[in-house]
Amino acid sequence: GGGGGGGGTSNAAVEGANVEEEKETYKLRSGTVLGHLGELFFMRGDLTKAEQVLKSAISLKKSCKMIRDNDKQVLVELNNLASVLVANQKYQDAISTYQDLIILLSEKEGERSLSVAVTKVWQANSHVGLGELNKASELMEEALVPIQQNLPAAKQVFFWKRHSEILTALGREEEAKHAEEMANVVVAT
């Protein structure tokens, strides 16, 4: 008879763990739904509502204790939040959000991944919005190495042209000319 009591406790513990896991799964799914809702508000042009809902989605997902990769679960929402912040000209907040995204992407894919590089380009654009052209140029230079290594030539044109524009704005004509030539080279290939 004594063994049965221990089994009952064990079942209660398993049931408790299952309930806790269901709560965590519910939180994660709710965060995903909020993420989609935030994206819809963004597409409708309601930037304030989109920002609020996306921040809630990120917070909810990050609060999931039992989900091992909960930080990686927020990549889409962080990216969308950064886009909303840029659209709303909240460049400093966008830069911070892009930095969070870069950290997570670096952990997931490596610092020299294409995803990290493209995120650095968007972060550079936010620096341009603040008039921080030197920082923007620095980020573009960091981003262009993995972009050259991982993207087909035809898809590199935008990045080279953007870098050329930033360098031109900085008065670095020779470097801007080189970037423009790189854009033209990739168009020709």
Tens digit of each residue's pLDDT, the chain (189 residues): 544 444 555 677 777 778 888 888 888 899 999 999 999 999 999 999 999 999 999 999 888 876 666 567 789 999 999 999 999 999 999 999 999 999 999 988 888 899 999 999 999 999 999 999 999 999 999 999 999 999 998 899 999 999 999 999 999 999 999 999 999 887 676
- Cα 149–chain centre separation: 21
pTM over 0.85: no
CA 55 – CA 138 distance, rounded (Å): 29
